[in-house]
């Protein structure tokens, strides 16, 4: 059996709390001989800054580059509000994405049947929802230069962020979206603001040309990003795959999360290009949510986004579809039983803790594999 090298980066806030539940499941899978993980742990975000004075150490960067997959929980928090901008906790995550060239961020938003009433929208709007946001992750305004604040000397300052996209960056993320759509409901919605932004004009042009050239069998539509935000809460089931840039993808995926009941439900996979010879690709798996400083340390965070991120690793990095399906079904079964962490409880009194949710999923999984 292949041994997979996993680098585990719990990070800050609720990060270590939700990662502990994933570690329980990984230990169980290893114990049962269902998969063989060689797990190393590292630091990222504020917890790395406190030890190394940087949001990720060179050593952990090197280990991330060598791992078969990296699992990251969350970074950030008010404790590090005053650290220099280049060392802020988020810089560790951004460096991992950029240096590992993880340009494709897949953010599935699936509404579990048991949670159709947990969303802030009406049941019929979200019931059966299954959309996939494909977010470009290594370009755009997150990384474009110049990025700076200039002192104008007259008591005024000027802040500059730069949105930059080259043809190849749009093409490779578009290709991922079209390929994934073919395995789903065969529809891609591409989103930008070409009415205001030059990068939007190029985005629209490149995605349209790629569609004609390589994917004429896939349905393609374009929606301006503001209108798409509106449609996401109006009639979200019209979407299959949404492909968009780094910043729009960040915002739209938080909106999509609430369609499923909670931000604590959404996993993601950040993937690099496939190696042409080995077929392997660099990958980092992380929930869409952050370090949730408001509930950190209380043991009440929802671990499902983090556990589902491990499930995505089984699918996208290790080709263990059966095992991934079994964990997914275990999560669904726990939700069917009415077990809820506070974020998805909808005001109900009987909420369970992070550890109880992890244990409940593990119990279902034990039944599923025996």
Active site residue 161: no
Write out the binding residues for ligand NAD, residues 272-301 only, by CB under 6 A.
Answer: 286, 289-295, 301
The answer to the question of residue 54 lying near ligand NAD (CB under 6 A) is no
Pick one of 75, 96, 126, 284: the residue that binds ligand NAD (CB under 6 A): 75
Can you tell me which of 305, 307, 352, 357 binds ligand NAD, judged by CB under 6 A? 305
CA distance 112 to 239: 17
Residues 235-254 close enough to bind ligand IPM by CB under 6 A: 250
- Pick the stretch among 9-17, 80-88, 246-254, 297-305 that binds Mn ion (CB under 5 A): 246-254
The structure tokens listed for 318 are 């290790």
Shortest distance (Å) from residue 105 CB to ligand IPM: 8
> Which of residues 35, 83, 90, 208 is near ligand IPM by CB under 6 A?
90
Pairing of strands 3-11, 187-192: unpaired
Catalytic residue check, 254:
yes
Q: What are phi and psi of 269, to 5 degrees?
A: -125, 130
Stretch that binds ligand IPM, among 89-97, 110-118, 194-202, 325-333 (CB under 6 A): 89-97
Binds ligand IPM by CB under 6 A, chosen from 29, 43, 93, 344: 93
The residue (of 140 and 261) whose beta carbon lies closer to ligand IPM is: 140
Please work out, in degrees rounded to the nearest 5, the angle formed at the alpha carbon of residue 184 by the alpha carbons of 180 and 189.
Answer: 70
Q: From the candidates 68, 250, 285, 343, give the one annotated as an active-site residue.
A: 250
Q: Pick from ligand IPM, Mn ion, ligand NAD, none: which does 302 bind, CB < 5 to 8 A by kind?
A: ligand NAD
Sheet of 241-244, strands arranged across:
36-41, 3-11, 69-74, 283-285, 269-271, 104-110, 130-136, 241-244, 187-192, 219-224
Minimum CB–partner distance for residue 15 and Mn ion (Å): 14
Q: Among this protein's residues, is 250 annotated catalytic?
A: yes
Applying CB under 5 A, the residues found at the interface with Mn ion are: 250
Annotated binding site for Mg(2+): 226, 250, 254
Q: Which residues bind ligand NAD (CB under 6 A)?
A: 14, 18, 74-77, 90, 93, 263-264, 286, 289-295, 301-302, 305, 343
Could you give the residue numbers annotated as active site? 142, 193, 226, 250, 254
């Amino acid at each position: 059996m292949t041994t997979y090298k996993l680098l585990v980066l719990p990070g800050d806030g609720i990060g270590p709390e939700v990662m502990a539940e994933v570690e329980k499941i990984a230990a169980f899978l290893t114990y049962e001989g269902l998969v063989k993980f060689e797990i190393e742990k590292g630091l990222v975000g504020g917890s790395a800054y406190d030890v190394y004075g940087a949001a990720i150490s060179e050593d952990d960067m090197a280990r991330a580059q060598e791992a078969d997959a990296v699992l990251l929980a969350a970074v950030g928090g008010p404790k590090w509000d005053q650290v220099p901008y280049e060392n802020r906790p988020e810089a560790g995550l951004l460096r991992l994405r950029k240096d590992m060239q993880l340009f494709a961020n897949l953010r599935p938003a699936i509404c579990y049947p048991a949670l159709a009433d947990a969303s802030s929208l009406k049941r019929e709007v979200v019931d059966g929802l299954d959309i996939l946001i494909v977010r470009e992750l290594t370009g755009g305004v997150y990384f474009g230069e110049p990025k700076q604040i200039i002192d104008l000397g007259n008591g005024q300052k000027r802040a500059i962020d730069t949105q930059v996209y080259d043809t190849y960056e749009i093409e490779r993320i578009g290709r991922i979206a079209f390929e994934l759509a073919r395995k789903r409901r065969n529809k891609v919605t591409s989103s930008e603001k070409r009415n205001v932004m030059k990068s939007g004009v190029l985005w629209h042009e490149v995605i349209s040309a790629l569609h004609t050239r390589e994917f004429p069998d896939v349905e393609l539509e374009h929606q301006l990003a503001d209108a798409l935000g509106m449609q996401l809460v109006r009639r979200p089931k019209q979407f299959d795959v949404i492909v968009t840039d780094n910043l729009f993808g960040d915002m739209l995926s938080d909106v999509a999360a609430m369609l499923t009941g909670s931000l604590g439900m959404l996993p993601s996979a950040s993937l690099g290009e496939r190696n042409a010879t080995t077929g392997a690709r660099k990958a980092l798996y992380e929930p869409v949510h952050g370090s949730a400083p408001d509930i950190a340390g209380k043991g009440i965070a929802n671990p499902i986004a983090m556990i589902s991120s491990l499930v995505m690793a089984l699918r996208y990095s290790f080709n263990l579809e059966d095992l991934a399906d079994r964990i997914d079904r275990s999560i669904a079964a726990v939700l069917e039983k009415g077990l809820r962490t506070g974020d998805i409880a909808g005001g109900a009194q009987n909420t369970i803790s992070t550890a109880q949710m992890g244990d409940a999923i593990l119990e279902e999984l034990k039944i599923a594999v025996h």
